[in-house]
């Protein structure tokens, strides 16, 4: 199925998708790691790196893969978050057709890995990935700062909004978010981890460069909700 409107180079998009029938798409830590590696190696203007070759033949580790020289990206990733049955990305298209090419490599690569590992067939994701155009000065982009990284609260605290209002557990909930390993939030907090190479914050508005501002956006997003 073709999209009604093509993606525009230098524009920003909120990209998201979930497992078909809301099924779990990340069953283990290794599943998350595989998708994270694909976020990095699929984002290249050349042919994709073959992860199986890198892992099984060249014996490269997770950290080694995320420092590979892969050339110029086809999209810039500003934020990302993986949940058990879905994912969110905030990206800017850098070359014509970049988002489509990147998402195809990412989706096909992960679906093949998942289906082989769990001996299943058929589609893994619920149809074509969803997208929303985000204006650079749009307040919605600022809201995405918080929204994308607050998603993990739903895993452990499905009633977190009630918890905040009733028992004022802001710091307790923030501690959970700050330790959640499957999003870019730690990278904006200044934690020194190899996943920081996935994001390219210099291609986003200047407030992406300020770690404290980013943290404030996240905290204010749900404290004031």
> What is the pLDDT at residue 115?
96
pLDDT in tens, 79-92: 999 999 999 999 99
User: Domain extents for the chain?
Assistant: 12-223
Task: At 36, give phi and psi (nearest 5°).
Answer: -65, -40
Residue 212 above 90 pLDDT?
no
If one looks up domain 12-223 in CATH, what number appears? 3.30.70.1290
> What is the pLDDT at residue 38?
96
Residue 220 above 90 pLDDT?
no
30-34, 70-74, 190-194 — most confident range: 30-34
Q: What is the Cα–Cα distance from 14 to 16, expressed in whole angstroms?
A: 7
Helix axes 160-167, 211-223, angle to 10 degrees: 80
Choose the weakest-confidence range: 21-25, 102-106, 163-167. Answer: 163-167
Give the predicted TM-score (pTM) of the model.
0.91
Torsion over CA of 92, 17, 63 and 178, rounded to 10 degrees? 90
Instruction: Return the higher-pLDDT residue of 110 and 6.
Output: 110
Q: CA 93 → CA 13, 90, 99, 204, distances in Å?
A: 8, 10, 6, 11
pLDDT in tens, 129-171: 999 999 877 678 888 878 898 899 888 888 777 666 655 566 7
Residue 20 above 70 pLDDT?
yes
* pLDDT confidence tier of residue 113, bands split at 50, 70 and 90: very high
Q: Are strands 12-18 and 86-93 parallel, antiparallel or unpaired?
A: antiparallel
Residue 57 above 90 pLDDT?
no
| Stretch 10-23: mean pLDDT | 94
């Amino acid at each position: 199925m073709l999209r009604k409107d093509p993606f525009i180079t230098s524009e920003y998009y909120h990209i998201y998708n979930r497992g078909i029938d809301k099924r779990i798409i990340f069953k283990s830590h290794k599943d998350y790691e595989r998708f994270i590696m694909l976020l990095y190696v699929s984002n290249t203007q050349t042919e994709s790196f073959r992860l199986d070759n890198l892992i099984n033949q060249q014996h490269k580790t997770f950290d080694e893969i995320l420092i590979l020289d892969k050339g110029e990206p086809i999209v810039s990733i500003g934020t990302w978050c993986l949940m058990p049955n879905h994912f969110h990305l905030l990206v800017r298209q850098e070359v014509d057709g970049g988002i489509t090419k990147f998402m195809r490599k990412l989706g096909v690569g992960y679906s093949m890995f998942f289906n082989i590992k769990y001996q299943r067939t058929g589609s893994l994701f619920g149809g074509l990935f969803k997208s929303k155009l985000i204006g650079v000065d749009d307040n919605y982009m600022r809201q995405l700062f918080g929204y994308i990284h607050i998603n993990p609260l739903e895993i452990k605290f499905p009633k977190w909004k009630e918890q905040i209002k009733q028992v004022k557990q802001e710091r307790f909930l923030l501690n959970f978010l700050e330790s959640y390993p499957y999003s870019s939030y730690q990278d904006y907090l200044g934690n020194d981890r190899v996943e920081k190479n996935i994001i390219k914050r210099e291609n986003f508005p200047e407030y992406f460069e300020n770690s404290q501002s980013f943290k404030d956006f996240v905290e204010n997003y749900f404290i004031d909700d």
